[in-house]
Amino acid sequence: MNRYTIRGATTVESNTYEEIKTKTIELLKDVLEKNKLEIDDIESIIFTCTEDIDAVYPAKFAREIGFTDASLLCMQEMKVANSLNYCIRILIFLKNNVKLKDVCHIYLHNAGNLRKDID
- pLDDT at residue 118 greater than cutoff 60: no
- Is residue 115 annotated as part of the catalytic site, yes or no? yes
Active site (annotated) includes residue 89: yes
**Which one from 3, 4, 7, 87 is the annotated catalytic residue?**
7
pLDDT over 70 percentage in the chain: 91
pLDDT at position 78 is: 93
- Spatial CB neighbours of 34, under 8 Å, sequence gap ≥ 6: 104, 106
**Mean of per-residue pLDDT scores for the chain:** 92
Q: In what order do the strands lie in the sheet with 106-107?
A: 71-76, 42-49, 87-94, 5-11, 106-107
pLDDT digit string (tens) for 30-61? 999 999 999 999 999 999 999 999 999 999 99
Dihedral, 52, 57, 62, 63 alpha carbons, nearest 10: -170
What mean pLDDT is predicted for residues 89-105?
84
- Per the annotation, the verdict on 7 as an active-site residue is yes
Residue 59: predicted pLDDT: 98
The active-site residue, picked from 4, 43, 74, 104, is: 74
Predicted confidence (pLDDT) at residue 119 exceeds the cutoff of 60: no
Instruction: Please report the domains of the chain, with CATH numbers, ordered by start residue.
Output: 5-114 (3.30.1330.40)
Q: Which of 33, 51, 63, 64 is catalytic?
A: 63
Beta bridge partners, 93, equal 5, 44
DSSP element (H, E) containing 47? strand 42-49
Q: What is the mean pLDDT of residues 4-30?
A: 97
Mean pLDDT of 57-83: 96
Catalytic residue check, 104: no
Tally of CA atoms within 13 A in the half-sphere of 101 that contains its CB = 0
Q: Is 77 a catalytic residue?
A: yes
